[in-house]
């Protein structure tokens, strides 16, 4: 996942933030005005079929053929961008969206896709500008609100992120419960960043009501309960999460800190050992060393005053 490692900060109140939905796949493939027997049209249709069947590299090749035959076909650039985004070819995706917008500057999907690409390139201001442009063209596009909320969160504009998540919920009546649960979860993270645990808890409860299998919501609710001082409730959520997701590394680390605070030394050592092993496998050497340091600290005999 893009930016996954960037958020692995060792903290009991580490909040996992949902990565951007790959929303371009919901964008309609633009119809072509070119006659069906045109070779560019044939290549374009091959690209659409390849994309829909998950053959992304083949789709890129087919759209490339369409572009070579007709370099002014905006739809071919736009759809090649979608296939490139799916393959994390983000710089190529930016170039294709830009070229498509030069030919058709009124296409909101190109701004949306280019915003996603810039976000993955860790260029939040450029991503923000593109999502803003989507909303100029389509003021009720929940995808742009949601993705802009994620960017604003990264920029520490937590109130702006909450406002965007509110708009996303307002303008997304046809979303599945799973997706709505994700928005509630991300809004809860922003509330936690503002130290508003009660509002966060309400969102996390709603998220879990909509999707009881949402591991991130259990993790974030455990963090929320910990922030509120309800250690027993926090421990219950960590236990529930790790029963079904035993490799959730940060949950092991956070539960170890909770066990330490509750005086459960051996349980804390067990969780830290598990977290250290997983940090090492993930190549997170600084996290691994910190877990080992905490284990050594817990294993030290109590100091005796003479």
Question: Quick one: pLDDT at residue 36?
Answer: 52
> Ramachandran region of residue 271, left (φ > 0), alpha (ψ -120 to 50) or beta?
alpha
- Stretch 278-294: mean pLDDT: 93
Indicate whether 234 pLDDT > 50. yes
pLDDT for the residue numbered 303: 55
The CA-atom distances, in angstroms, between 84 and each of 79, 89, 100 are 9, 5, 14
* Exposure on the CB side of residue 284, measured as CA atoms within 13 A: 20
pLDDT value of residue 172 = 81
Give the three-state DSSP class for 32.
Answer: coil
Residue 64 has a CB neighbour count (10 Å cut-off) of 16
Q: How confident is the model over 29-78, as pLDDT tens digits?
A: 444 454 455 888 889 898 899 999 899 999 999 999 999 999 999 999 99
Q: How confident is the model at residue 17 (pLDDT cuts 50, 70, 90)?
A: very low
Q: How far apart are CA 58 and CA 35, in angstroms?
A: 23
C-alpha dihedral, 98 to 99 to 101 to 102, nearest 10°: 120
Locate 297 and state its tokens: 């600290």
**Residues 94, 126: contact at Cβ < 8 Å?**
no
Contact at 8 Å (CB) between 208 and 218? yes
Q: Closest Cα partner for 210 from 255, 172, 265, 248?
A: 172
Q: Which two tokens stand for residue 150?
A: 């994620």
Question: Can you give the pLDDT at residue 37?
Answer: 55
Residue 217 in this model has a pLDDT that exceeds 50 = yes
List the one residue out of 61, 62, 114 whose CA is nearest residue 85.
114
> Taking 70 as the threshold, does the pLDDT of residue 261 lie above it?
yes
Q: What's 270-298 look like in SS3?
A: HHHHHHHHHHHHHCCHHHHHHHHHHHHHH
Burial of 237 (0-12, 13-18, 19+ CB in 10 A): buried
pLDDT band at 174 (very low <50, low <70, confident <90, very high): confident
Span between the terminal Cα atoms of the chain, in Å: 54
Q: pTM for the whole thing?
A: 0.81
Res. 24: pLDDT tops 60: no
Q: What is the pLDDT of residues 91-149, one digit of tens each?
A: 999 999 999 999 999 999 999 999 999 999 999 999 999 999 999 999 999 999 999 99
The CATH number corresponding to 28-105 among 3.40.50.1000, 3.40.1690.10, 1.25.40.10, 3.20.20.140 equals: 1.25.40.10
pLDDT at 4 > cutoff 70: no
């Amino acid at each position: 996942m893009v930016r996954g490692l960037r958020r692995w900060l060792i903290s009991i109140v580490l909040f996992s933030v949902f990565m951007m939905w790959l929303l371009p796949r919901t964008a309609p493939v633009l119809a072509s005005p070119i006659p069906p027997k045109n070779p560019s049209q044939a290549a374009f249709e091959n690209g659409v079929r390849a994309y829909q069947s998950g053959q992304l590299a083949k789709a890129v090749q087919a759209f490339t053929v369409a572009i070579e035959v007709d370099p002014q076909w905006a739809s071919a650039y736009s759809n090649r961008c979608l296939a490139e985004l799916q393959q994390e070819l983000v710089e190529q995706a930016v170039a294709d969206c830009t070229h498509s917008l030069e030919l058709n500057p009124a296409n909101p999907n190109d701004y949306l896709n280019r915003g996603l690409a810039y976000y993955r390139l860790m260029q939040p201001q450029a991503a923000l500008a593109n999502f803003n442009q989507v909303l100029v063209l389509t003021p009720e596009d929940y995808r742009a609100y949601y993705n802009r909320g994620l960017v604003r969160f990264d920029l520490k504009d937590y109130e702006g992120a909450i406002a965007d998540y509110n708009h996303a919920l307002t303008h997304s009546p046809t979303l599945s419960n799973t997706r709505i649960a994700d928005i509630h979860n991300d809004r809860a993270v922003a509330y936690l960043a503002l130290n508003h645990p009660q509002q966060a808890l309400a969102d996390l409860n709603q998220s879990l009501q909509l999707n009881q299998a949402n591991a991130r919501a259990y993790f974030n609710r455990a963090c929320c309960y910990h922030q509120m001082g309800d250690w027993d409730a926090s421990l219950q959520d960590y236990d529930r999460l790790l029963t079904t997701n035993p490799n959730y590394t940060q949950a092991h680390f956070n539960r170890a800190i909770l066990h330490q605070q509750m005086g459960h030394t051996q349980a804390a050592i067990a969780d830290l050992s598990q977290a250290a092993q997983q940090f090492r496998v993930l190549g997170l050497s600084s996290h691994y060393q910190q877990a080992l340091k905490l284990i050594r600290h817990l294993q030290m005999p109590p100091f005796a005053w003479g």
